[in-house]
Homo-oligomer: A and B are copies of this chain.
């Protein structure tokens, strides 16, 4: 496991809400992050689909990790725009974020969130966000 991924997982484990969401950092490389979680019963809305708040959590946090992969560990999401594309159904959700452009203090990242059902992925949301470095 790379040092970057190890550090990323330590940050995720230090976020009580990410522990509460059972999120897992599957990959972290310079400019790229992949965050996932199992779509347990707690994460659904009234029609049995993934709740938007779960998708939003994954999108936001994967954007932050992608930004942090180029800006360093002290970052936060400043803003993001998210569009839902199709209902999130299946066993798990995977968010894949990448840096589009960055300066020393700010990274603009995009992210796609997929639902996975028996190995088949389906795009359920896409997002665009700005991550900024903060003084430690």
Q: Which residues of A contact B (CB under 8 A)?
A: 11, 14-21, 41-46, 51-54, 56-57, 60-61, 64, 76-86, 100-101, 108, 110, 112, 123, 126-128, 130
Contact = CB atoms under 8 A, between A and B. Distances in A.
Given A53-B61, A57-B57, A86-B101, 11 more contacts: A15-B44, A16-B41, A17-B43, A18-B51, A18-B53, A52-B76, A53-B60, A56-B57, A82-B82, A100-B126, A126-B128
A99 to B, nearest CB: 11
Question: Taking the full assembly, how many copies of this chain does it contain?
Answer: 4
A113 B77 CA distance: 16
Nearest to A56: B56
Q: Determine the main DSSP class of A at the interface with B.
A: mixed
B52 A61 contact: yes
B64 A43 contact: no
A15 B82 contact: no
A123 B110 contact: no
Contact of A17 (B17, B44, B82, B128): B44
